[in-house]
Structure 1
Amino acid sequence: MAKRKLRMGMAGGGPGSFIGAVHRMAAALDGEIEIVCGAFSADPEKSAQTGSALGLPVERVYGSYREMFRAEAELPPHERMEFVSIVTPNHVHAEPAMLALEHGFHVVLDKPMTLNLAEAIELQQAVERSGLLFCLTHTYTGYPMIKEAKQLVASGKFGTIRKVYVEYPQGWLSTYAEGGDNKQAAWRTDPARSGIAGAMGDIGTHAFNLAEYVSGLEVESLCADIQTVVPGRKLDDDGSVLLRFHNGASGVLIATQVAAGEENNVRIRVYGEKGGLEWQQQDANTLLVKWSDRPAEVWRTGGSYVSEYAAHNTRVPAGHPEGYLEAFANLYRNFALTLRARLDGTEATAVVLDFPGIREGVRGMMFIDRVIASGQATQKWTALNTGA
């Protein structure tokens, strides 16, 4: 009997949505998933427009996600969607996720998880009550050499981790882009739709998640310098954060959207007693491994020496670049394989289970909450100019 595809619905991702198209491409890449329904916009006409473009039956394209969950739950089990991908702006994350769980659907949700920390905690409780699967799309953890970096650190080869540097520079908001017809800039800089953070919520959470994922450590405390550089902007567009991890290690996190000329050059460096590593998205197939007593090594995606985690998340032979869409697709594939194992009554392997979940989502919202609070505080700096 041929293996069937898992059935996915989508909330959001209509006209003008960059991330919705990315989710659809990522979900489709490995042939594990097919989109069968959607509520693509709060405007029923726009939802219908997207559904038509995707070739979906008219009756499976809905005017709201509430209607979609009700109608899909009433369909026979072999027809209804099995999970939903939620790709709406931040303020429309919690409610559809909660409703999906209440109607028995597994959830894939774009980051950051919710509008605020209170919603995140409520959603965590709902996921735990439901027993359903939940995936949060922190894309950068899907790269093969990020998987390898995590495994190298976990192996203990570097000794105790002492220092973590992580940065995410962008330049797309170096001017007042939200003043025109830029839909992405408009909602991402709007507190009502984005939450209390701008750059720190949009890309700072990626950097935070990457730091904890690769190092295997959890941030225990932080000290933040948060700025709004572009006049008229309502949320932060630049910031630096000092980090303290639970084992005593320290770190620095930088997230900015006003670095004119930068694209998405995510970068992480982790150092232990005996050595460390470095990875950046602009050369995503390469992991630099550094030692205190011998020359640095260049590790490459597709090498015969990489761990099963990196190998599992690699699709093509060495030398062929694997990028953002493939990393995104790794999250969907691992989620799909985990769901398939559950449906088949088997155990998913640790390699397959390696995707961000509800705990990472709550950690990210806690980071946003604390980093903005720290950024707004004043009692944290010692002046160099003492008047002497």
Structure 2
Amino acid sequence: MNEKIRYAMIGGGPGAFIGAVHRIAARMDNLYELVAGCFSSSVEKSLETGKEIGIANDRIYANYQELIEKEKQLPDNQRVQVICIVTPNHVHFAPAKMALENGFHVILDKPITLTLEEAKVLKHLKEQTGKELLLTHTYTGYPMVKEARQQLASKKLGNIRKVYVEYPQGWLSKSVESKQADWRTDPSKSGVAGAMGDIGTHAFNLAEYVTSLQVVKLCADINTVVENRRLDDDGAVLLKFNNGASGVLMASQVAAGEENKVKIRVYGENGGLEWHQEDANSLVLKHLDEPAQILRTGASYLGSFATHNTRVPAGHPEGYLEAFANLYRNFALTILYKNQGREVPKECLDFPGVEEGVRGMAFIETVIASGQSDQKWVELTI
């Protein structure tokens, strides 16, 4: 497909954490062209970023409202098709809502909104408008995470019985003053959760994606370890899945010395599997009565989803940027296939969206409710 998707970015200006990652991911397959943006609440900083990227001055806007209104007025062959929102959590819902209402597809950082009710509004709008929404749960973009999902779906390991998923970080082990720490520990900008919203949602999404199961109830122990911090920075959650399996989720930002040590283990009747982000090219299969196997990215024996999302020859490491780009590519291909009236291959439809966003917000609100309750076991309902 030679057509490029024109997109605009909201956020991602000076000092931003994830904006540059989005821009790299969008460039990797040459399927997108960044042509407009509002990169900061400061007009001067937005202009500065836009000029650095190479955006024409008349496509650098003062705010997201102006961006959407003026882009909507441009001819079809000039206006952006996708609005990419890379702002703190409290600036997710309003621009995403406005973008969908005005006929734009949306790419959005997780968690999808500040509240479950807001997430439901976006779900309704997405269904009403027929537009696409990508939620950047990056870890589902790794080839061997996709292979893990296919392995479990094949039932080779039997019915799933146990799930362990963890995401330890250490960067908030002490009181930190920085742009990233400030908004993530501020309830008005982060929402009701800190660590559980920031990284716990990644672990939750990874568990549901890999197993193809859904959590139906949970029991949470939520902690605020650093003195005077206003939101949780540590927690553990017992999970019950809709097939009867049980699980444990751990998310902590006070695990001193850890960076982003994402890990998942799933056990069935006949064996289990294990994936670590620190060795992302490997998937370990563990059998009840046979030696363990190590499957590797790029090998000919892998399934179609892992193969579709593999970019380099076997033996060469694929990492976070490639996983991020896989989400962008699948999203772009879905839009392009639909624009041409063609059936979208199932491998291209494999990206997290509004459904995952709604479930993520339900997880956040249920985890906090359980952590604050004497009842503890709380049903996860939407």
**1:369 pairs with 2:365:** yes
Structure-1 residue corresponding to 2:227: 231
Structure-2 residue corresponding to 1:332: 328
> TM-score under structure 1 normalisation?
0.96
| Alpha-carbon separation, structure 2, partners of 1:147 and 1:306 | 10
| Alpha-carbon separation, structure 2, partners of 1:255 and 1:14 | 28
Q: Secondary structure at the match of 2:230?
A: coil
Q: Secondary structure at the match of 1:122?
A: helix
| Alpha-carbon separation, structure 2, partners of 1:189 and 1:119 | 20
What is the CA distance between 1:102 and its match in structure 2?
1.1
| Alpha-carbon separation, structure 2, partners of 1:237 and 1:273 | 35
Q: Deviations over 1:320-351 (max 9, x none)?
A: 10000000000000000001101111111100
Structure-2 residue corresponding to 1:305: 301
Structure-2 residue corresponding to 1:386: none
What is the CA distance between 1:379 and its match in structure 2?
3.7
Q: Deviations over 1:101-128 (max 9, x none)?
A: 1111000100000011111111111111
| Alpha-carbon separation, structure 2, partners of 1:88 and 1:369 | 21
Residues 1-388 of structure 1: matches in 2 within 5 Å? 3-177=2-176, 180=177, 182-380=178-376
What is the CA distance between 1:380 and its match in structure 2?
4.1
What is the CA distance between 1:4 and its match in structure 2?
2.8
Structure-1 residue corresponding to 2:380: none
Q: Percent identity?
A: 64
Most deviating of 372-381 and 328-337: 372-381
Residue type at the aligned position of 1:326: E
| Alpha-carbon separation, structure 1, partners of 2:376 and 2:306 | 41
Aligned residues: 377
What is the CA distance between 1:378 and its match in structure 2?
2.3
RMSD: 0.9
Structure 2 spans left out of the alignment, 5+ residues: 378-382
> TM-score under structure 2 normalisation?
0.98
| Alpha-carbon separation, structure 2, partners of 1:319 and 1:234 | 45
What is the CA distance between 1:157 and its match in structure 2?
0.5
| Alpha-carbon separation, structure 1, partners of 2:140 and 2:353 | 12
What is the CA distance between 1:201 and its match in structure 2?
0.1
Structure 1 spans left out of the alignment, 5+ residues: 382-388
What is the CA distance between 1:59 and its match in structure 2?
0.3
| Alpha-carbon separation, structure 2, partners of 1:22 and 1:3 | 23
Residue type at the aligned position of 2:215: V
Q: Deviations over 1:156-203 (max 9, x none)?
A: 1111100000000000000100xx3x1000001100000000000000
Structure-2 residue corresponding to 1:384: none
Q: Deviations over 1:208-266 (max 9, x none)?
A: 00000001110010000000000010000000000000111000000000001000010
Residue type at the aligned position of 1:38: G
Residue type at the aligned position of 1:256: S
Q: Deviations over 1:283-321 (max 9, x none)?
A: 000000010010000000001100010001000001110
| Alpha-carbon separation, structure 2, partners of 1:345 and 1:250 | 42
Judged with a 3 Å threshold, the aligned counterparts in structure 2 of structure 1 residues 75 and 240 are, in CA distance, closer, same or farther, namely same
| Alpha-carbon separation, structure 1, partners of 2:376 and 2:245 | 20
| Alpha-carbon separation, structure 2, partners of 1:336 and 1:4 | 10
Judged with a 3 Å threshold, the aligned counterparts in structure 2 of structure 1 residues 294 and 73 are, in CA distance, closer, same or farther, namely same
| Alpha-carbon separation, structure 2, partners of 1:131 and 1:261 | 45
Most deviating of 342-351 and 309-318: 342-351
Q: Secondary structure at the match of 1:84?
A: strand
Q: Secondary structure at the match of 2:18?
A: helix
Residue type at the aligned position of 1:47: S
| Alpha-carbon separation, structure 2, partners of 1:150 and 1:380 | 30
| Alpha-carbon separation, structure 2, partners of 1:125 and 1:262 | 39
Most deviating of 237-246 and 39-48: 39-48
